[in-house]
Amino acid sequence: MKKIPWRGLLYLLITGYLFLDLKVCQGPIREAMRSRRDAAVDEARGRGWVALVNREPLTREQLDLAVARHLYQRGRKAEDLSAKNLAMIRRAVLQGLIDDTLVRQYADGDSEKPPVSSEETAAFVEAWRSGSGAEVGKPVEEELSRIWLRKRWLENRIRPGVEVTEEEARAWFDDNHVETGGRLRPGFFEPERVHLRHLPLAATDEAGAGELRRRLLGEGKTLADLGWMALDQLPADIREGVRDLAPGEVSAPLRSGRGWHLVEVVAREGERALAYEEVRAEIIAHLEAQRSEETFRVLMEKLRAVANLQVFPENL
C-alpha cells in the first residue's frame, strides 16, 4: 500500500486556502491585512504625511523644505507662482523625494556595499564643509559618509548601462557633426576669429570721431590689445565694421552702446572644422549623461515596482 503524500497534500490545501481567502472570497486573512493597511493609511492622513515609502513617512515639512530648495536653486519664489503651478511643482518634487528615499532604503539595506576608501569619503566631507562654511561634528560627518556610500551604490548600479565605447562615440560623431544641407553643426567647428586692437574715442558725433581718428593715427597712437575673439560674438555694430577689414587695417569710427571706437584687425582665422579627437571628450560626456538619465529612470521603475508606495494628495 502506497503512503499518502501528506506533506504535498497539506501544502496544496494551504495554498488553495490562501488563494481563496486573498483573491476570491476576501476571507479573514485578507480582512486582517486590509484592516492593518487601512489603519496605517488613516494614521498617515491624520498626521498630515504626504506619502508612505515602504511604511516610512514623508512629512509635509520635508516636502516644504525640498520645494523651497528647488525654487531657490532656480531663482524663483513661491509667492510669484500661481496656485496651480505651485501645486504641480510640489507633486514633481515629491516624486524626487520618493526616489531619494528609495535609493537610501535600498542602498542602506544592500549587504553588498561598494568599495569606498576613507580618503574619498574624507574628500567628500571636506568639499561639503568648504561649500557650506559650516562646522562638521561627528553626527554630521557620519551622515555625510552614509550619503557618499549611497552615491557610490547608485553609481555602481547604473554604471554598466552608462559606459560609452570608442566605437559608439565615433559613430555618434559621424552621424551628427554635419547637418542635412552639408553644413557643420554648431559645436563641431570653430567659428571665424579675429585678433583685435581697440581705442575708445572721446567724441559725441561721427564728424568729431573722424577728426580724432585722423589725429590719433597720425600721432601713431597705440591701440589696446583685445586678443582673439569669435567674429559672431562681437556686438553687431563692431562686427559689421570689421567684417571686411584685412589684417593691419583700422576701421572707420564705429559707434556702439558705449560710444565711439577705433578697431584694428591684427589677424584673422577662418572657420575651422573640429576633428573627432578634439570633441571626443564632449561627445562621451554627452552620451554618458543621456544614458545616466535613462538608466536611472529604469532603475527607479524597478525599485518602485517592488516598493510599497502610498501618496496622499489631500495632504500636499
Going from N- to C-terminal start, the domains of the chain cover 6-96, 191-271
The residue written with cell numbers 560627518 in the block is 141
pLDDT reported for residue 1: 45
pLDDT score for 253: 79
pLDDT of residue 285: 94
> Can you give the pLDDT at residue 29?
53
Q: Is the overall model pTM greater than 0.85, yes or no?
A: no
Please, are residues 144 and 136 in contact by the beta-carbon 8 Å criterion? yes
Per-residue pLDDT, 84: 93
pLDDT at 203: 67
Q: CATH for 191-271, among 3.40.1160.10, 1.20.1730.10, 3.40.50.620, 3.10.50.40?
A: 3.10.50.40
Phi-psi region of 66 (alpha: psi -120 to 50; beta: other; left: phi over 0): alpha
The residue behind cell 562686427 is 239
Average pLDDT per 10 consecutive residues for the chain, totaling 316 residues = 55 58 56 58 80 92 93 91 93 95 92 87 87 79 89 89 92 90 86 85 68 70 82 84 84 76 84 92 94 93 92 86
**Residue from 104, 23, 93 nearest 62 by CA:** 93
Task: Measure the CA–CA gap between 185 and 208, rounded to whole angstroms.
Answer: 44
Cβ count within 10 A of residue 149: 17
d(CA 214, CA 212): 6
Amino acid at 283: I
Alpha carbon separation from 170 to 64, 119, 167, 294 (Å, rounded): 46, 35, 5, 21
